[in-house]
Amino acid sequence: MAHKPVLYQEIIHALNPRDGGLYVDGTVGSGGHALGILEASSPGGVLLGLDLDPIALSLAGELLSPFADRLILKQASYTTMSQQIVDLGWSQVDGVLLDLGVSSMQLDDKDRGFSFLGEAPLDMRFNPEGLVTAADLINGLPEKELADLIYRYGEERKSRQIARVIVENRPLYTTTELAGLISRVVKRGKDDIHPATRTFQALRIVTNDELRNLEAVLPQAVESLTPGGRLAVIAFHSLEDRIVKDFLRRESQDCICPPKQPLCTCGHKATIRQVTRRPIRPEETEITINPRARSSRLRIAEKI
């Protein structure tokens, strides 16, 4: 591992792993956070690590091999979390981690198409068996749908111009072809991010159905926790963080009736307590070592 995964200390502190505890890392990736959880829950804590990406899982398997007797790694979507827990014969767990989005390993893998920095096929699937690639979207969607996708999931103001130039030049096959086209219509702004950043984010989110998956896993994660168990979620952009924030706010309230309604009719009961009202951001020193940490936000909740 080149450096510790994002917000490492904060995650381990939040989950407070203990000997004999049961933990789920829904996005185990190369196993960086999982290593910390297994070490901190020695000698008897058990971890279930899920990921869609078989390459990530094999790296995790290597890194975590000293803990093989108390580790289960499975290629599966975190949206199947409740079922995975039942399949293990567990009833509830002591901690759940979701470290959302794409890993440094996936970004750096030149064949996966997640990055515009090297030439690669427009793939962007976490699961290489997934049905849709970024190329399918780029080359198959009508211009208006492509523009809406880029606007909605990339929060890109120049979405219409980008969709037009794509449609005029398709079929497109590689990341560099796409990034080059985008650079023709979007200039580097004050934020100094690459002009293709937001469009690539949008394509990745839709290729992997990331936001819908996040909405599906959050209730399962809370339901799986034992009282006092902790949920930690790291989001990397505002669309993800908004879903996490709204979910945690709703689940930590006893009533979710509209604000002006005098009497409660919803019967909703809080299931969690928010451990931190505001998201935890990485320290500047972490951002200097790992610039990809810059936009990360950690939210923590505890089951009531």
Ligand X SMILES: C[S@@+](CC[C@H](N)C(=O)[O-])C[C@H]1O[C@@H](n2cnc3c(N)ncnc32)[C@H](O)[C@@H]1O
Residues forming the site for ligand X (CB under 6 A): 5, 26-27, 29-33, 50-53, 56, 77-79, 99, 101, 103, 126, 208, 213
199 contact partners, CB below 8 Å, separation of at least 6: 150, 154, 156, 162, 178, 182
CB of 194 to ligand X, least distance (A): 20
For residue 122, give the nearest of 182, 74, 79 by alpha carbon. Answer: 182
Q: Which is nearer to ligand X, 184 or 212 (CB)?
A: 212
Q: Which is nearer to ligand X, 22 or 38 (CB)?
A: 38
What H or E segment, with its residue span, contains residue 232?
Answer: strand 225-235
In this structure, the number of other CB atoms found within 10 A of the CB of residue 3 comes to 13
Task: Give the position of tokens 């000293």.
Answer: 66
CB of 261 to ligand X, least distance (A): 36
CB of 230 to ligand X, least distance (A): 16
Q: Which is nearer to ligand X, 79 or 175 (CB)?
A: 79
CB of 43 to ligand X, least distance (A): 22
11 neighbors 97 (Cβ within 8 angstroms) = yes
CB of 44 to ligand X, least distance (A): 22
88 contact partners, CB below 8 Å, separation of at least 6: 48, 72
Strand partners, 78: none
Residue with the shortest CB distance to ligand X? 29
CB of 185 to ligand X, least distance (A): 30
CB of 223 to ligand X, least distance (A): 17
Virtual CA dihedral for 265, 268, 273, 276, nearest 10 degrees? -60
What single-letter amino acid sits at 47?
L
Q: Which is nearer to ligand X, 51 or 302 (CB)?
A: 51
Question: What tokens does 218 get?
Answer: 């959050």
211 neighbors 236 (Cβ within 8 angstroms) = no
CB of 212 to ligand X, least distance (A): 10
Q: Which is nearer to ligand X, 103 or 175 (CB)?
A: 103
Q: Which is nearer to ligand X, 56 or 147 (CB)?
A: 56
Q: Which is nearer to ligand X, 182 or 233 (CB)?
A: 233
Q: CA of 124: how far to CAs of 9, 121, 188, in Å?
A: 29, 9, 23
Q: Which is nearer to ligand X, 31 or 195 (CB)?
A: 31
Rounded to whole angstroms, the Cα distance separating 199 from 197 reads: 6
Rounded to whole angstroms, the Cα distance separating 10 from 203 reads: 30
